[in-house]
Chain A
Amino acid sequence: AQSVAQPEDQVNVAEGNPLTVKCTYSVSGNPYLFWYVQYPNRGLQFLLKYITGDNLVKGSYGFEAEFNKSQTSFHLKKPSALVSDSALYFCAVSNDYKLSFGAGTTVTVRA
């Protein structure tokens, strides 16, 4: 079985401040971890993934994520948030062919 948990339903930050969205995972074997973003009435957009190698993964739109095997975490980060980053963020895990998603975290960046 595989699953992810996103402990925060909502994250609120001021524009220009660092943004962190938390995710922990559970999977047997080596995990493949992903972050997606969803804007209102839209499908999911791929941000980044961790497969193997460097624990710090860089992705689209200035986002990065840090893989921590001992804490089974894969937190999404952005050094300086923009108002346009306001959206719904999903963490997902896969070890075969399907993605298992968390419940999502709504990020609001205030001007």
Chain B
Amino acid sequence: DAGVTQSPTHLIKTRGQHVTLRCSPISGHKSVSWYQQVLGQGPQFIFQYYEKEERGRGNFPDRFSARQFPNYSSELNVNALLLGDSALYLCASSLLGQGSTEQYFGPGTRLTVT
């Protein structure tokens, strides 16, 4: 079975630009979460979507937005990029999106902002 897939693998953008990251969950999983992992730190929660509805948002500015599509895939959008947005962006899927349910992570998208 295919795991969580993310695209692109790597991305280089300039400050002020916009970026869209994509994620396809494991087949049958209805929940997708996004995390930001800065080098040397643990992942930080950005968003969770379940059945196309936003269930939670972490402490990130409004420049960050996301959505989930009817096929449960998801996009993370970041506007007006800053140097500090450079990080590994991880997508995770889970069956039900409950706290007791383990999340399965994709390989991530490495975003570099110059």
Contact = CB atoms under 8 A, between A and B. Distances in A.
B48 A97 contact: yes
A32 B43 CA distance: 17
Contacts of A101: 42-44
A39 to B, nearest CB: 10
Interface stretch (A41-49, A63-71, A78-86): A41-49
A80 B60 CA distance: 41
A99 B4 CA distance: 17
Interface string B88-114: 001010000111101111111000000
B10 to A, nearest CB: 10
A94 B99 contact: yes
A101 B43 CA distance: 6
A7 to B, nearest CB: 14
B33 A98 contact: yes
Interface in B57-92: 58, 90, 92
Given A97-B48, A99-B45, A101-B43, A46 B102 contact: yes
Given A43-B106, A43-B108, A99 B43 contact: yes
15 contacts: A43-B90, A44-B90, A45-B105, A46-B103, A49-B100, A49-B102, A92-B42, A97-B33, A97-B48, A97-B55, A98-B48, A99-B43, A101-B44, A103-B42, A104-B42
